[in-house]
Amino acid sequence: MKTFEIIGLIAATLTTSSFIPQVYKAWKHKSTTDISLVMYLILFIGSMLWLYYGLMIQSLPVIFANGITGTLVAFVVILKLKYK
Amino acid sequence: MKTFEIIGLIAATLTTSSFIPQVYKAWKHKSTTDISLVMYLILFIGSMLWLYYGLMIQSLPVIFANGITGTLVAFVVILKLKYK
């Protein structure tokens, strides 16, 4: 595997897992006032479309990254609606 | 252009532009307490690595999407630090 491919995998892991601290913070503090619901709704739709695209081009990294991102983003939407 | 490629472009546009409402909300309300700084720092590093990866594979969509995402995410980090 070439160096830049490893960097691509690290990038995918970082951008995907970056939502975990936001889910944790919203869940722990039960406060989401400053979080933009519009952002997370758009992000959810976007990651679902990326997931479809990944399935079409049969790219495991795209499928994997957006499956997780979509799930984490859905959690933030639920927490946002719960603790408006 | 095939349908799924159009869907990929829509996905890239949505996930990239999704940060605009969060930048606007943070700037307008001058309040970022509920926003996870850790998330945005990881996201910034991730988008910069994606940008490098895009340059290596010479993919305009990856370069374009992550250049914009990185800029918007940097704005959120600045607003977060300013309005802790």
Distance CA A74, CA A46 (A): 12
Q: Residue A5 pLDDT more than 90?
A: no
How big is the A-B interface in CB pairs under 8 Å?
A: 121
- pLDDT value for A1: 81
- pLDDT value for A20: 97
- pLDDT value for B10: 93
Q: Which residues of A touch B36 (CB under 8 A)?
A: 21-22, 24-25
- pLDDT value for B25: 95
| pLDDT tier for residue A62 given thresholds of 50, 70 and 90 | confident
- Tokens representing residue A37 in the block: 């619901």
Q: Any idea where the domains of chain A sit in the sequence? A: 3-82
At residue B41's C-alpha, the angle toward residues B21 and A28, to 5°, is 75
Q: Which residues of B touch A11 (CB under 8 A)?
A: 46-47, 49-50, 52-53
Give tens-digit pLDDT for B40-82. Answer: 999 999 999 999 999 998 888 789 889 999 999 999 999 999 9
- pLDDT value for B84: 77
Distance CA A80, CA A29 (A): 12
Pick the CATH number of B3-82 from 2.40.50.100, 3.30.70.20, 1.20.1280.290, 2.60.120.10: 1.20.1280.290
